[in-house]
Structure 1
């Protein structure tokens, strides 16, 4: 397996490029590879993914990423490349498998050859090392500040290596070959003075003394403007040596002849067709720099034979034309033979033909009408011939397709072509793509100020920010809003904001003179096919920030691959944009104003019946996938209550790919799940609403999204009560009761469970009754009523056994085992746990298996077998981390901490118990937190630290009292009394160490 980080991140297994996964996995792998074969802590990985503002689930997300990468690599190598350690992870990379390691080894080899006097060999090795780079920077595209900070070291090593190689080539007299490369490097790194000096020397030795001095003057201007300092002494001495023609600058291979001057070029027409420059141009520094960098190479790079093509792509109104025209004016002097411009009207129904554009261009180049060829090919040939030796810039605005552009391309590298398009025009070979996005907040405010007046914006800053948000930070919309304010000096900015807040009027308000957002988007909308337009409209049904491809398939009732093609068509037209993800996990989204337009189209072009049918299919597909994800997470269709709502099934293989990692799938679709439950209730799809709500608990419980759990269940519960849906009401009461247990609101939980039991009994639903009974039994155990708890568990077990639900039976058995432990019967608990473990494994539920293992560890502790307990807890800990259950991890870490304490490993015990407390607080599990605090108190007692033992026991007792758990309260109180007694004894010690009194 080969890892590549010198450029975009890639992993190659044999000859196959692996799909690493989403952004988090890519950041995680990048960070590991930057420290290959060295430990990378979990905290560093979390910071790399999230920055300084870490979410509560950061560590769990890191573990999920590691697990995903392990499965990916194991599937292709059979080996566990990533190893786990107490504080983090290490990726094991063999020698030669990481391009950065090969680069460093070759650079060192080249330095040794240089020191040995083998300059040719050193250059060859340097060039081999530099050839490993596939981009300008290491790990391009990884949006993580810690990763890019670390990667910058490699980029700096690359530049130093390049400079060392060029220095040797200058010593070998290869100055003429280096001029193009050095010019390009200086454009990229204008503040590297060593490169400037090398270019000055190469030019001087090539007989281009004036140009060498011009390089120094430009260097001095740049240094003073950017840094406020003069060039260094070495560069100043080099300038003086060039001025005085110092012989020390010559090489042994100095040329003895000066090339003859080229003959003067024939006089031809020089066209200047660019539109006027934009007076209030704002921002876009990054894009302009990228375009300038590429245009600077036109006609200069001897290794480039094809015409340079730069494509500025983006949605309508994003400012593509503005950037292209502005940049063209900036670089016009580099193209002394003229600048051509044509608006191809790519978004219009009648696009400008290449024939028409070629006629205009040929006339501008001096071809009279009588000599104009009639055919497209003949015109294109004459056009290419006229531009063959000319440095001309051609700007093609709003191109629709590659076929519209191809006849307008020059034939040589002397000229350059700058294209704007709503599509990426991927069929133009070798083109450089510069993508345009919306403005950020500062750029939006600056543009508004330039058009409406800076004082006006400063006087209403908050309203101006709100205006920019309502414009979606889209430059055209901002320009229109600014123009409307400028034309109406009596309006306040807040007044325009109030008008735009009405979404049904927003596109009407964003219209001024010839400028209009609706017209701009409409041109693009009409340019795509009928099915793509239908998908565009129906995506507006979804009330979410992003959507997956499968949602489009369901909305249209089409196969997934057909929907995939339509998504690509809409994305190419910039009507939707990528929101991350790869393959079947790809996500898309609307720009805010385009969503408004889509909703207008939905209302105007889709019948209510079509909208309703599309929504029902999409919700049916969502429920189908949620159930598939739940089965994969639990190993089967266990502990679920289902409705008769219609499902919209996807093919088996596709479903397996989509929910291959169930919890990450749930996480991606969380916004759709939450909004889908509400949409289903509003549309009257009551069974879909409550079934989706209960299916989403898999996510809400494991990721502790308690607000989502509460809000969705209140919505679904209101819907089922409104329609007298008894089974749905029972299911929602049962699930809401489970939420109350998670929140440790036991009285509220018992009320919901008792109501749910009555409803399930009324309709004869034994599965529902059994599910509720096992939770009532848990409440009985927490209150210390072990007899009633046992009765409820045994009744639930009988029902689950009769239905053949192995996993639910295993769950009840391990809870019965806990009762046996708490009543002093560890042997009886052990027998029950053995049966539970076998059932959970037969049923394939790893989550319940970890719960059973946790109970077994507690049993071994009860038998005073801490070594066996620690072994069981370690196994359970690895499993619970792999499935991503932070709440379960807190309980297992608590047990592991107690086991390590009993083994005398106090430091390890303290780490485990403190980690358990942190996890419990993160997940809001007060019971787990209280039990872990109890463990810390026991640890303090063992270390004869009575003061801290009292503190921990008091905190634990307070938590046990708040959640009303008498059995645990009694235990905490007994241990607190012991700690206070110890503290009192310590307080009575005299100075000699003897007890006083």
Structure 2
């Protein structure tokens, strides 16, 4: 198979041209061919195909293109030609005969070798053979920015090769044959001064002095008109030589050959700093650097300079890694190593002009020959490196423009750059991301600096010290140096000093090394608004934050906040966290950077500004939390809210955030918990209790019972201190619900009774109804059915009057349970039909699942296990959809019993055992007890009486512990039957709910 890109893209298999496919596949193949033998990342392929506007399926489309190309190659005997790599894809092109551009490179290299050896005839033949491979514009017709950029580089290489070939042929006296070709080339490349000069010389040597001078005048007019510049000095000297018929212009036969002087030895610069003796860790990054540069050296086709960018926040050891890596590979670059510190994070960044002067002097350029302008120095620098293998290390770069003039012009040299930014604008650069050390690496570095014996003598203190240093290499190095300088200190002494956060950055300073100075340089390098956001983010006690929350802190839009967050992330002051994407993206501080941010917050923002930012953030959090609750329950049902002002967000943004409400709650759980505490400390009592109540949607569904208890203790103290009776009622009602979940029924009743008094005092009927329905549940569990019905009916009246459809549906399905307890499945069915309609109109999937669960129990009482199993199946889909493990446990209990009565014994056994496991994991004793009763019934049906007794006894113990007489009585009746069945001649009667 043969690939051709020196002209329109072609693939030949046994001289038959293959149909590569549409534009996307042609772009994909072109990029793979340009980087043959080297990884092309999926992101580069996406960028090449789509540019800046990416469809959601962009990566999938790339995979489709790769699959199509693989099918094509496999069909023509080349399976495995495209290899999948963790970062993208590699096209394995075997040799020069496979790819025309490789043949071109090989021939031009061979031509240069013959030229340097003095064999000009052979050199010309090789050049002409190489140029003959071109069939027109490289990859013509493929409209893709990266592909066109590569094609332009190849075009430049082609014309430069042509110039070299023509020069050799002029030296061989073939000026007559070259005039026509040179005339066409000048017309095609009118700004190439070397071609102009070659045409003038060919004309003059052909006896056409006037035409040669005319060619100069045309060249001058073109350059002045197009570029506003005069011809270069070499062209001007050539014109003067033609005017004066200088004998030096005559052909080779008239030129006296003078043996060349032996070339002077070229300087080999060695500017690398000394390697760090205690270099630790970073094996993965070091391997990546060595591997990438080795691949670049092996890939003869590669035209671009191999560039490695080591990116990360200050203090991660980027310079240490770069210098260490440079020393390990220096032997592969025999023509020297160049190094400079660009001071990108400082106030006085080093400019390219200064660096180029240092580099040029190191390469042997005398001061008198030093060009004055940046472009001229860069050109001389690239020319000197053109045939050398040199390693260039550019440390602490601020931006792409600072390093661009310092890049060599060909691939024989390599560049390693360190930066606090990713320098994503450098085409083809390989990104090496730096992160903090892990625990073992941290202790190893401490041991190397402070002494391994000290670290081994105080292992727990050393581990704590590494955590207080945030496992940041610079901080660890400073801590180790302080301990080394104070052999009489224990590690614990330094730990105690660092535990005081207000002094931590003062303690992390030794000699010229300091964490505060390192972070401060980066902080000052970003814009004023980014610095303000950086400070305000420290207002929050949470470790994670999103763009919508950042916008609230600033009091602006989340779009502006997103741009500022990205600016901070690019500067490595914050880092992306988690797996969120789009509006769900989250960021975080490194621990020591957070300490610095809090210092700047205290120094640059007033107390009033800090408090206002916190209030905006919490008011926005409450707004989104309520939107998430509505997605679960439908409108503002089953909750009491304060009258505190919310800070709204655009509806489209909120819809995106809470599209999957439980996922949003889960992601923002740390923010909710810390926000409740911060609201209490700041005196925002209403925000505090309202956030606590709103967070129960998560705490209850995902069994975060510790969070539920702790946040409500904080909120209750806040509302009592503020003298807010309605807030007290809301928190007591919610805490009572927690006690009810834990089956601490006496404690729940005490909280509910106090909440009833408070809601009655302030005239809050909705709050009263919510409490009444929970007290009614306690009455039912205690066997007081009449009292339960009275309270349920009172609550139902209030919900109906206030239009709370979901509240009414909740009460109705509990009234239906009273009908079932009384042996009236028909009455229960009528009530449940109304409850189901209300729950669906109210949009509460959660309450709908509870109603369906009751309906399943009703069908079981009617002895319709098939219908019951169908209903339970619908309910289980709902509770699993929004993540309600407690609800799932209850539905599994009912489903297991339905399966048993359908004769599906194995399925019933698995379902009921799953319910027992889930009930125990959730800490819901009632659900666990009901599942154990189901297992007891199953064992009885299989005449496994011993296991039946064991399961039912466990259930009875659970119900007795919880104090639920109705279920105790049911368990005792089943136990009597089971025990009777174990006696000789005993009979088993299965049934009951």
**TM-score (norm: length of structure 2):** 0.76
Q: Could you tell me which residue of structure 1 aligns to residue 156 of structure 2? A: none
Distance 1:655 1:894, change over 3 A: same
Distance 1:8 1:812, change over 3 A: farther
Matches within 5 A, 1:564-575: 564-575=562-573
CA distance in 2, matches of 1:933, 1:17: 54
**Aligned residues of 1:6 and 1:135 also touching (Cα < 8 A):** no
**Aligned residues of 1:10 and 1:17 also touching (Cα < 8 A):** no
Q: Could you tell me which residue of structure 2 aligns to residue 126 of structure 1? A: 80
Matches within 5 A, 1:828-839: 828-839=827-838
The one of 277, 280, 287 equivalent to 1:279 is 277
CA distance in 2, matches of 1:835, 1:987: 44
**What CA deviation, in whole Å up to 9, does each residue of 1:101-139 have, x standing for no partner?**
8899789x57xxxxxxxxxx423x432x43xx354689x
The one of 426, 432, 435 equivalent to 2:433 is 435
CA distance in 1, matches of 2:514, 2:640: 52
- Secondary structure class of the residue paired with 1:819: helix
The one of 348, 355, 358 equivalent to 2:356 is 358
1:559 aligns with 2:514: no
CA distance in 1, matches of 2:488, 2:974: 75
Q: Could you tell me which residue of structure 2 aligns to residue 781 of structure 1? A: 780
- Secondary structure class of the residue paired with 1:712: helix
Report the Cα offset of residue 804 of structure 1: 0.7
Distance 1:651 1:383, change over 3 A: same
Report the Cα offset of residue 845 of structure 1: 0.8
Q: Could you tell me which residue of structure 1 aligns to residue 110 of structure 2? A: none
CA distance in 2, matches of 1:433, 1:662: 36
Q: Could you tell me which residue of structure 2 aligns to residue 189 of structure 1? A: none
Large movers: runs of 4+ above 3 Å:
4-12, 14-21, 96-107, 134-138, 172-178, 263-267, 297-300, 986-989
Q: Could you tell me which residue of structure 1 aligns to residue 508 of structure 2? A: 510
Q: Could you tell me which residue of structure 1 aligns to residue 789 of structure 2? A: 790
**What CA deviation, in whole Å up to 9, does each residue of 1:864-913 have, x standing for no partner?**
11111111111111121112111111111111111111111111111111
- Secondary structure class of the residue paired with 2:417: strand
- Secondary structure class of the residue paired with 2:298: coil
Q: Could you tell me which residue of structure 2 aligns to residue 683 of structure 1? A: 682
CA distance in 1, matches of 2:791, 2:533: 52
**Aligned residues of 2:70 and 2:80 also touching (Cα < 8 A):** no
**Aligned residues of 1:894 and 1:916 also touching (Cα < 8 A):** yes
CA distance in 2, matches of 1:351, 1:951: 79
Distance 1:626 1:600, change over 3 A: same
- Secondary structure class of the residue paired with 1:340: strand
Q: Could you tell me which residue of structure 2 aligns to residue 407 of structure 1? A: 405
- Secondary structure class of the residue paired with 2:309: strand
The one of 308, 312, 315 equivalent to 2:313 is 315
CA distance in 2, matches of 1:617, 1:506: 30
Report the Cα offset of residue 963 of structure 1: 1.1
Distance 1:6 1:834, change over 3 A: farther
Q: Could you tell me which residue of structure 1 aligns to residue 268 of structure 2? A: 270
Q: Could you tell me which residue of structure 2 aligns to residue 978 of structure 1? A: 977
The one of 498, 517, 521 equivalent to 1:519 is 517
CA distance in 1, matches of 2:41, 2:695: 40
CA distance in 2, matches of 1:455, 1:396: 37
Report the Cα offset of residue 834 of structure 1: 0.5
**What CA deviation, in whole Å up to 9, does each residue of 1:342-391 have, x standing for no partner?**
10000101211111111111111111111111111111111111111111
Distance 1:100 1:901, change over 3 A: farther
- Higher relative CO (Cα under 8 Å, sequence separation at least 6) belongs to 1
**Aligned residues of 1:811 and 1:848 also touching (Cα < 8 A):** yes
- Secondary structure class of the residue paired with 2:345: coil
Distance 1:435 1:833, change over 3 A: same
Matches within 5 A, 1:440-459: 440-459=438-457
Report the Cα offset of residue 923 of structure 1: 1.0
The one of 299, 302, 305 equivalent to 1:301 is 299
CA distance in 1, matches of 2:972, 2:44: 58
CA distance in 1, matches of 2:648, 2:483: 52
Aligned length: 792
Matches within 5 A, 1:477-876: 477-580=475-578, 581-876=580-875
CA distance in 1, matches of 2:549, 2:426: 32
CA distance in 1, matches of 2:757, 2:846: 29
Distance 1:811 1:425, change over 3 A: same
Report the Cα offset of residue 300 of structure 1: 3.4
The one of 473, 476, 480 equivalent to 2:474 is 476
Q: Could you tell me which residue of structure 2 aligns to residue 68 of structure 1? A: none
CA distance in 1, matches of 2:952, 2:445: 61
CA distance in 1, matches of 2:766, 2:665: 25
Matches within 5 A, 1:49-68: none
Matches within 5 A, 1:12-31: none
CA distance in 2, matches of 1:864, 1:266: 105
CA distance in 1, matches of 2:813, 2:55: 42
Q: Could you tell me which residue of structure 2 aligns to residue 960 of structure 1? A: 959
**Aligned residues of 1:537 and 1:601 also touching (Cα < 8 A):** yes
Distance 1:636 1:309, change over 3 A: same
Q: Which moved more, 1:266-275 or 1:749-758?
A: 266-275
**What CA deviation, in whole Å up to 9, does each residue of 1:617-654 have, x standing for no partner?**
00001100100110111122211111011211111111
**Aligned residues of 1:298 and 1:415 also touching (Cα < 8 A):** no
**Aligned residues of 1:680 and 1:686 also touching (Cα < 8 A):** yes
**Aligned residues of 1:299 and 1:391 also touching (Cα < 8 A):** no
Distance 1:400 1:986, change over 3 A: farther
Q: Could you tell me which residue of structure 1 aligns to residue 142 of structure 2? A: none
Report the Cα offset of residue 605 of structure 1: 1.1
Report the Cα offset of residue 603 of structure 1: 1.0
**Aligned residues of 1:312 and 1:419 also touching (Cα < 8 A):** yes
**Aligned residues of 1:307 and 1:411 also touching (Cα < 8 A):** yes
CA distance in 2, matches of 1:490, 1:425: 45
**What CA deviation, in whole Å up to 9, does each residue of 1:474-501 have, x standing for no partner?**
1111111111111111111111111111
CA distance in 2, matches of 1:20, 1:861: 48
The one of 418, 421, 424 equivalent to 2:419 is 421
| Structure 1 alignment gaps of length 5 or more | 27-72, 77-95, 111-120, 139-157, 182-262, 990-997
**Aligned residues of 1:6 and 1:100 also touching (Cα < 8 A):** no
Aligned-residue CA RMSD (Å): 3.0
**Aligned residues of 2:752 and 2:771 also touching (Cα < 8 A):** yes
- Secondary structure class of the residue paired with 2:375: helix
**Aligned residues of 2:101 and 2:301 also touching (Cα < 8 A):** no
CA distance in 2, matches of 1:979, 1:98: 63
**Aligned residues of 1:898 and 1:909 also touching (Cα < 8 A):** yes
- Secondary structure class of the residue paired with 1:641: coil
Distance 1:461 1:100, change over 3 A: farther
**What CA deviation, in whole Å up to 9, does each residue of 1:225-280 have, x standing for no partner?**
xxxxxxxxxxxxxxxxxxxxxxxxxxxxxxxxxxxxxx998632211111111111
CA distance in 1, matches of 2:263, 2:967: 97
Matches within 5 A, 1:876-915: 876-915=875-914
Matches within 5 A, 1:90-105: none
Distance 1:136 1:843, change over 3 A: closer
CA distance in 1, matches of 2:263, 2:538: 59
**Aligned residues of 2:102 and 2:301 also touching (Cα < 8 A):** no
CA distance in 2, matches of 1:661, 1:671: 18
**Aligned residues of 2:573 and 2:593 also touching (Cα < 8 A):** yes
- Secondary structure class of the residue paired with 2:392: strand
- Secondary structure class of the residue paired with 2:394: strand
Matches within 5 A, 1:324-335: 324-335=322-333
